[in-house]
Amino acid sequence: MEPSKNAPCPCGSGKKYKRCCFLTGGITIAKSGGYKKFNKNLNRYETNLDHHYFTFNYRGCDFLDSKPYVGKIKCRLVHEQGNSIIVPDFIFVNNGWIQPLHFTAPNLFKIDDDKIGCDFFIDIQNGQTIKVRFYNSDILKIYSDKSQLFKCEIYGPADIEEYTSGEFEVENNQIYLKLYHHTNDTGFAGITSSKSLRSSKWNYRGSKECTNFHFAYFTHIPEIKYSNDLITVAMSADGNIDYMIDSFIPPKAMPPNYRTRFENSIYTAQVYRSTTNDRNHPLEFYLPVESIDIKHIYLHNQGNLFFFEICFPYIHRLKLTAGSTLTFDDNHFIKNESPIVNSDYSIIGDARTKEGLAAPFEEEETDFIYKIEDCGTQTIHDFWFSHSNQDLFTDKTITELQVKDVSNNPTT
């Protein structure tokens, strides 16, 4: 996929794409390494020097009149103060799974007294926006993490199976995602010999030590090779990742002191310091889909468009009891059992403010919370209509993450 004509040209010339490589018929290969190809599965341009992950460029859905592809969607109902939404976890097609990147608020509609439908638009890899439609009658499974699996119609590109983020296996009617844990020489030797993973005590950005829950971190990136690969898993060689509020329009050339000059518009997350050499041993695992912790989200407002962004879409973590060890079998399958626990809330950060941008990183200190609904035996659709115009947020109790400050954290 080519970039927007008004976007900076990916060849690195500094010109707009329409004034540069577009004139020659496509992306050229620059002397500095060049853009060799676009990887649909991982949503990135790949060069000899780095991997450049594609950013959101809303164009609308081009596939409303297409023949729908029959797939599956795992999602859950959540509530923030005064609002309810449906969050898509994963989409499944015949040959793999797709990671949603952005999505719109759902549109639920009644066909008759029994049948209820739900539509929403989801951005996936390669800058494509698809429409997903699923009915209450298409429920396939209710999971222990309060999510539900539905058969769905996907209105998307004809080659939708080429957009998969990764593979999955089905055993005993259970879906397992194929994911990777990246470690160093010492970690690789310890994990493979013990057939276990020690839980991490660090929060998402590695700034504080969690005390009541720990985590195990995975990704669908098969190799951490370049600096941008590190950034996608919330790590950085210099320990910093920048985020800009929605209303900020950056200059064509950012000055060296941009963090100070634009301090009201840029949130700089101090994250886990690491290098690609520290992540040179990938280990392949199969994780039960209902054990993967719910991801945080951002609420965006760009012009008249409101939409939600999945935070850290390349990170998939398991929430564990503190101080625990996660075991796996000879085939590297992990079972959905203790010490894995399910969250009852997550974070919704408002990308219009610096505080909102910080929320997913400061997950233990934020009021930007959405709570997960347990629909019981009802489908999300039926629960939505049977509990309309009710406050489903205030009285829900949650177990918040507890942390403590330590001086020797990985961000320093």
Q: Cα separation of 193 and 252, whole Å?
A: 51
Cis previous bond, 339, omega within 30: yes
SS3 state at 209? strand
**DSSP 8-state secondary structure symbol assigned to residue 389:** T
Spatial CA neighbour of 110 closest among 135, 85, 147, 87: 135
If DSSP states are collapsed to H, E and C, what string results for 231-271? Answer: HHCCEECCCEEEEECCCCCCCCCCCCCHHHHCCCCEEEEEC
E strand or H helix that includes residue 403: strand 403-404
Strand partners, 159: none
One-letter amino acid of 257: N
Q: Cα separation of 84 and 87, whole Å?
A: 10
Q: Give the rounded distance of the alpha carbon of 238 from its chain centre.
A: 23
Question: Can you say whether residue 151 is alpha, beta or left, with left for phi > 0 and alpha for psi between -120 and 50 degrees?
Answer: beta
Contact 302, 246 (CB under 8 A): yes
Residues of the chain with pLDDT under 50: 1-2, 5, 12-14, 17-18, 22-32
Q: Cα separation of 101 and 63, whole Å?
A: 18
Other beta carbons within 10 angstroms of residue 235's beta carbon come to 27
pLDDT the model gives residue 252: 85
pLDDT the model gives residue 25: 43
Contact 340, 197 (CB under 8 A): no
Other beta carbons within 10 angstroms of residue 229's beta carbon come to 23
Q: Cα separation of 84 and 61, whole Å?
A: 23
Backbone φ and ψ for 65, nearest 5 degrees, come out as -100, 10
Cβ within 8 Å of residue 288, ≥6 positions away:
174, 175, 176, 334, 335, 336
End-to-end, the C-alpha distance of the chain in Å comes to 39
